[in-house]
Structure 1
Amino acid sequence: MMSSQLSVARLLWRAENVNGARINTAWTSDGVRSFTYRDLVSDVRDLAGALASIGVKRGSRVATMAWNTRQHLAAYFAVPALGAVLHTVNHRMPVEHMAYTINHVSDEVLIVDEDLLPSVEAMRGRIPTVRHLIVVGEPGAIDDFDQVIPYDQFVSGASTHGTFQEVDENTAASICFTSGTTGSPKGVVYSHRSIVLHAMAISTKGGVEIDAERAYLLATQMSHVNGWGVPYAAALQGARLVLPGPHPTPERFLDLIHGERPDTFVGSPTVAALMRDEHLRRNCGYDLSELKTMWLGGQVPPVALARWWAEQGARVVNGWGMTETSPMGTFSPGGSMQGRPLPLFELRVVDESGSPQHWDGQTVGELEVRSPWVAREYLDDPRTADSFRDGWLRTGDVATVHPDARLQIKDREKDLVKSGGEWISSVDLENALMIHPAVSEAAVIAIPDDTWQERPLAWLRLDADVTDEELRTFLATTLPRFWLPDRFVRVDEIPKTAMGKIDKADIRRQHRENTGQPTSTDQASTVSDGRDHNVAVIPTRSDTTSGL
């Protein structure tokens, strides 16, 4: 057989020669603009040539701080096609974390959207490796770098188009970082091979089935885990991308659904809920009839939200993944549990000694995974030793696997509640709470108890008034009585991480500051692994961990 390397450049060849006439759309300040895959490849060649002209070569590190735009999409392909490494900086992180990741990677070039320049200003003098600042828009007065230049001027000034490099498929192509909610973020390096295989896997029937006949509104940030791999899979398959541009709002997403007619929304339950609320506020003024799928990840979508979208004709699909898994590991087209493993993705549940457990749907243990697109280490980070064992990634999730290979996440190890010697799953309890029509969001933490060791405390964001006793009565129909929280805390908003996920570390901090009482995981949270999990479970009344 031929030894043909899997690389991002191969995806570009297909995008240009097979899918070249297929049209994508992007929101801009001048309105929605269309461009073909052939146009995209031309953009990629221009950017690659410009980067090469300032010395970007194999192994160079190029960072982006950008929204979901045509220019960012070009960087997704141009940087690795040169043999360089793309670092997508999550601009929702705290500034100190952004600076940490840029320094950890030693980025030489930073491509930044104009409206994100205040974050660059805040890092002034703290990112010494960056020599070239390329601004999509107007650079303003920043002059701390060897070169500061507008993007359009930069790409138009290149004397030649870039030449796509033949690289070893195991060469680094991109780097993303975990959220680092309590510790410093951890870097995950994706190879050309892992990107291509992940794109192929999520395109299969065992994955999300990305194909040329579908259009994807990409709401999940391209700065987060390679945009869930969708840009690469879309180029491979010729699927249409709808890019929402800078500072997207629920109104803009609805406008794009109404006007551009995508059939799939890719994003978080939080954004999906805000879109629902905006649609209702506008007296259902948006045409959602073409939308058939809501691919939601990052946190548990409330069952009421999933049902509302189903009533609009869009099914909610979900899965499981992490930054370390590129991110997709399992997928459930029917919203049942976390679904089955993608092709070429292996998983197992192990006990404390590391021995694999039976797939009986009852036995629980720590979930471990391996795959061609699962990381084998963290970038120059000693925490690698704690997270990888015998070729498997230790996820820190407590799970069980059913005989038909369906994965069921029970909890994070550090989020379990041990009450009276028995374990309570915070995930199952949160799911059960969110079935109640008054509960929009729920987050459960463990607090110390003199009698029972620990008890669950539930933070709730409500859509309607409900008493504590009404909630306990409701929960008692599906859960053991000792699971029922002694206390409920009603809040206007539940804290979220930079990735838009519920931030239990912040909830514990606020509880400690507001009450003067510790939580059971205060000590553990100070050494959190910072892994970025992408879990969505949609419960029913009869099974609080299964799908609609």
Structure 2
Amino acid sequence: MDYQLTIDAILRRAERFSPGREIVTRLPDRSYHRLGYADLAQRARRLGSALTVLGLPPGARVATLCWSHHQHAEIYFGAPIAGLVTHPINPRLHPDDIAFIATHACDAVLIVDESLLDVYEQIRDRVSFEHVVVIGNPPTGAIGYEELLATGDNDWRPPEPDERTTALVTYTSGTTGRPKGVEVSHRAVALHSLSSALPGWLGFTDADTVMPVVPMFHALAWGWPYTCALLGTKLVLPGPLLDPVSLLENIEQERVTVTGGVPTIWTSVLQTLDADPGRFDVSSLRAVLSGGSTAPPSMIASYQERYGVALVHTWGMTELTMGAISALPWGMIDAPPDRQSRQRAKQGRPMPFIEIRARGDAGLVPWDDQAMGELEVRGPWVAAEYADNPEASTERWTDDGWLRTGDIVTIDEHGYIDIRDRAKDLIKSGGEWISTPALENALMGHPAVAEAAVIAVPDARWSERPLAVVALRHDANATSAELLEFIAPAVAKWWLPDRIEIIEAIPKTAVGKFDKIALRRRYSASEGHR
């Protein structure tokens, strides 16, 4: 049958087969809110009905400035099933970027958390939303979210949209220029949800309890809310409480089995666990997924050895949500532990229907785990272009339709991606490349180091040299000389940073990655010494 792969089909299945399975939200007052998938479906349909009553035409954008909670999940479903487009915006972005994104997307409605009204106030004179809806107490001129839902029809059933119509739009974080929009179709959401759920990748079942720490405005929370609804998996949404103690409380109370976020989160969670052994029960966890940047092998080993938890690399980007997961291939199940560890440290194999290749200066590189090139991908949930940005699209997509990711990788015989660096972060010293993740991982293997970032600084002789910036654990001490001595056996001599700057904390981007632009700006006048 020509069955339409739509978000409404996912919602209907969740409602029918998992009506009482919970969506749990951690509220700002630290209490928990609970509703079942049947309740979620009813509220999502009432929302879709209410939005159409506002007179929004098909394809109108519904922007959100929200944390991860059940109302945000309702918008994830409610707007697309009404033929509209959900547009999550990262409230941590600079107000100039938020105003640009909302204007470029032609957002008609903004749904905003009461706690984020100050963000809206900074942009309100530069945007032209037709309606502003507030989750909480609305100010004059705005609509309360529950008030809006009350205008919806409980018996409303939406006409089924075409699976290829846009369901969501999300924007890049703008680290290499203005943010760029990516449109995601119903079909892309459905295929991504189905593929990611398979054994050997996420492997979710209805017996799992899943907590996406990655916010719903960041790469669509890796699509996990849709995958959980498709399977009837219990979903725990942490709200604005993303500190390590709150996350560990959620894991213990809700018996979370799988969680996922960026490496900086898991560094702080590990430090909290180590600081007070036995305080938190994490025995329910079978996997912690880490994406957004490379997790140091020392952290992967610490989770496994001290807490029996597998920290699993994932790889993705705004342009494709999630694309690879580092589960071991069948041929390595009985491999020696050190070889398994090396394999798990890679970003993993591409998910079903995602194809990969890497291109170097001389063309496509062999899958030999040695040759490096820029990773290129294609697949049914990989964007085909940027929204209304032909110039950026031409730069990012090849003539035969593959997405240039900007990641410099090797690929091994099993098809495992190993990211050696971002193209913009590679250091070319004396004509030779230096990998910043390799240096960062070596530094973070030192017991005194909490965070490490490596950037290039100008050098009169070698063109560029590496400079390392390190933040120490609060109860630890180490000198630059000690850190250099520690990493010397792990890297080539000419890779060693000329300087190691020890600072209180490394600046982060709006999505929790190390802000290397800020570091380059801070140290741009530095001269290497060798």
| Same-fold call, TM cutoff 0.5 | yes
Matched, 1:287 2:281: yes
Matched, 1:351 2:360: yes
Secondary structure at the counterpart of residue 44 of structure 2: helix
Give 1:371 deviation, angstroms.
0.7
Structure 2 counterpart of 1:537: none
Task: Give the RMSD, CA atoms, in angstroms.
Answer: 1.7
Matched, 1:384 2:378: no
Matched, 1:18 2:17: yes
Gaps of 5+ in 1: 520-548
Aligned letter for 2:139?
G
**Would you say the 8 A contact 2:471–2:505 is kept in 1?**
yes
Structure 2 counterpart of 1:237: 231
TM-score (norm 2): 0.92
Aligned letter for 1:450?
A
Decide whether aligned partners of structure 1 residues 373 and 159 sit closer, same or farther in structure 2, where only a CA change above 3 A counts: closer
**Would you say the 8 A contact 1:304–1:437 is kept in 2?**
no
**Would you say the 8 A contact 1:9–1:165 is kept in 2?**
no
Aligned letter for 1:346?
E
Give 1:102 deviation, angstroms.
0.6
**Would you say the 8 A contact 2:42–2:154 is kept in 1?**
no
Structure 1 counterpart of 2:337: none
Secondary structure at the counterpart of residue 183 of structure 1: coil
Aligned letter for 1:170?
R
Structure 2 counterpart of 1:75: 75
**Would you say the 8 A contact 1:457–1:486 is kept in 2?**
yes
Give 1:160 deviation, angstroms.
5.1
d(CA) in 2 for partners of 1:398 and 1:279?
Answer: 34
Structure 1 counterpart of 2:194: 200
Structure 2 counterpart of 1:538: none
d(CA) in 2 for partners of 1:290 and 1:92?
Answer: 31
Q: Deviation per CA, 1:340-378: give whole Å up to 9, x if none.
A: 11111100011236x322111111111111010101100
Matched, 1:502 2:520: no
Matched, 1:314 2:323: no
**Would you say the 8 A contact 1:250–1:271 is kept in 2?**
yes
Structure 2 counterpart of 1:43: 43
d(CA) in 2 for partners of 1:15 and 1:164?
Answer: 16
d(CA) in 2 for partners of 1:336 and 1:425?
Answer: 15
Structure 2 counterpart of 1:528: none
Aligned pair partner of 1:457 in 442, 459, 467: 467
**Would you say the 8 A contact 1:48–1:163 is kept in 2?**
no
Q: Deviation per CA, 1:74-122: give whole Å up to 9, x if none.
A: 0000111111111001111111111111100111111111000011111
d(CA) in 2 for partners of 1:428 and 1:346?
Answer: 26
Structure 2 counterpart of 1:525: none
Structure 2 counterpart of 1:529: none
d(CA) in 2 for partners of 1:86 and 1:518?
Answer: 47
Give 1:39 deviation, angstroms.
1.0
Q: Deviation per CA, 1:447-466: give whole Å up to 9, x if none.
A: 12222222111111122322
Identity %: 41
Give 1:159 deviation, angstroms.
4.5
Structure 1 counterpart of 2:34: 34
Decide whether aligned partners of structure 1 residues 428 and 133 sit closer, same or farther in structure 2, where only a CA change above 3 A counts: same
d(CA) in 2 for partners of 1:110 and 1:383?
Answer: 27
User: 1:267-278 residue pairs with structure 2 within 5 A?
Assistant: 267-278=261-272
Structure 2 counterpart of 1:396: 406
Give 1:247 deviation, angstroms.
4.0
Structure 2 counterpart of 1:367: 375
Matched, 1:180 2:174: yes
d(CA) in 2 for partners of 1:28 and 1:396?
Answer: 38
Which deviates more from structure 2 when the two are superposed, residues 385-394 or residues 307-316? 307-316
d(CA) in 1 for partners of 2:472 and 2:353?
Answer: 41
Aligned letter for 1:478?
A
d(CA) in 1 for partners of 2:277 and 2:413?
Answer: 46
d(CA) in 1 for partners of 2:253 and 2:21?
Answer: 18
Give 1:162 deviation, angstroms.
3.8
**Would you say the 8 A contact 1:369–1:394 is kept in 2?**
yes
Q: Deviation per CA, 1:44-70: give whole Å up to 9, x if none.
A: 111111111101342111111111111
Structure 2 counterpart of 1:539: none
Structure 2 counterpart of 1:468: 480
Structure 1 counterpart of 2:349: 340
Give 1:483 deviation, angstroms.
0.7
Give 1:478 deviation, angstroms.
2.1
- The alignment of Structure 1 onto Structure 2 pairs a total of residues equal to 507
Secondary structure at the counterpart of residue 168 of structure 1: coil
Aligned pair partner of 1:484 in 482, 488, 496: 496
Q: Larger relative contact order (C-alpha < 8 A, sep ≥ 6)?
A: 1
TM-score (norm 1): 0.89
Give 1:518 deviation, angstroms.
7.4
**Would you say the 8 A contact 2:480–2:502 is kept in 1?**
no
d(CA) in 2 for partners of 1:111 and 1:482?
Answer: 52
Aligned letter for 2:26?
W
